[in-house]
Amino acid sequence: MVANKGVPVVDMRTGGSEFTKRLGDGLENFGFVAIVNHGIETRLLKQAYDTARRVFVLPTEIKNKYQTPETGRQVGYTPFQMEHAKDSDLPDLKEFWHIVRPGNRSYLNVYPREVPDFEMIMPELFRALDKISVHLLTSIRDYLNYRTDKLTEMVNGGNSILRILHYPNINSDVEGMRSAPHEDINLLTLMVAATTPGLEIKNRQGEWIPVNNPPNSIIVNSGDMLELYTFGRISSATHRVVNPDKPDGGRYSLPFFVMPRPETALVTAGCFLEQRLRDNRVMS
């Protein structure tokens, strides 16, 4: 089954070797898959989006109190037109809020006191997506026939980030893009269905493909760190969020960036040698 001109749809209820193969083939050959029957309650997603709306309608002067430039904006609020894609001269047309794993050793979460539900709902969503990410990484390990659990162990207590993302309503003549073409730096990104269309992915043939999540699905894409760890076998996936043809009232999205612990060495000499032996077909 596929969605939107080729994005593979993978059912988590399938389980076993079939799920592993569908997930691995989708990421290796396409860079993206849509996960269905993932177990996150519709109730939680609705609460998360309702809470996000209440946060981003706060006055700018209030939101700005929650900036944390001293952390590299790993937690708290990042204003509109602050972030640039790596190769873009223009800022992205978005604002967002980051939360990290409760108890993170590097950063302390910042929550908006004006929306008390945020502190309860967003960590719950973080935990749900974190659990799914471990399941996905386990399947990727099996797909690649890796003999070590490092891929799952490195995210245990890692610096994963839930980004609560708002693309404000814009006029058609505005300069820039909601999110310019880019790749994610992390291992995997899990994106629950956004409130409006706009996501486009670049397939391995270089074609831009619009993606509207199947209902209640999670779009999963591979990132730079997974490309590094797999020696390019699963390469980082390029994507963007395009501007609407007409005002759409704004767009909300909830990407979850799966990150290892900061001290993790993604590639060792032993891993490099083992991969080369596989490439030379002297090791299975």
User: Residue 109 maps to which CATH number?
Assistant: 2.60.120.330
Question: Looking at the domain assignment, is residue 71 inside a domain?
Answer: yes
DSSP class of residue 66?
Answer: G
Rg (CA), the chain: 19
Rounded mean pLDDT of the chain? 90
Structure-model confidence comparison of residues 130 and 247, the more confident one = 130
pLDDT of residue 58 exceeding 90: yes
Distant-in-sequence, close-in-space partners of 184: CB < 8 Å, separation ≥ 6: 221, 223, 224, 236, 237, 257
Residue 63 has pLDDT above 60, yes or no: yes
Q: Specify the pTM.
A: 0.92
Task: Let me know if residue 15 belongs to a domain.
Answer: yes
Q: How far is CA 126 from CA 21, 148, 187, 190, 259, in A?
A: 26, 26, 16, 11, 13
Task: Give per-residue pLDDT as tens, 173-189.
Answer: 788 999 999 999 999 99
Tokens of 148: 């070590």
pLDDT value at position 3?
45
> Is pLDDT above 80 for 65?
yes
Is residue 9 a part of any domain in this protein? yes
260 domain residue, yes or no: yes
Number of domains comprising the chain? 1
pLDDT at 48 over 70: yes
Q: To which H or E segment does residue 181 belong?
A: strand 179-182
Domain around 25: 2-279
With pLDDT > 90 as the criterion, what percentage of the chain qualifies? 72
The pLDDT, as a whole number, for residue 284 is 57
- Is the pLDDT confidence value at 7 over 90? no
In a domain, 35, yes or no: yes
What is the C-alpha separation between 22 and 6, in angstroms, rounded?
13
pLDDT at 6: 64
What is the mean predicted confidence (pLDDT) over 225-244?
94
Quote the CA–CA distance of 56 and 97 in Å, as a whole number: 9
Q: Can you state the percent helix, strand and coil of the chain, rounding each to 5?
A: 30, 20, 50
In this structure, the number of other CB atoms found within 10 A of the CB of residue 174 comes to 11
Least confident residue range of 24-28, 47-51, 171-175: 171-175
Confidence of residue 281 (pLDDT cuts 50, 70, 90): low
In a domain, 58, yes or no: yes
Average pLDDT on 36-58 reads 96
How far is residue 14's CA from residue 19's CA, in Å, rounded to a whole number?
Answer: 6
* Cβ–Cβ under 8 Å, residues 198 and 144: no
* Residue 284 in domain: no
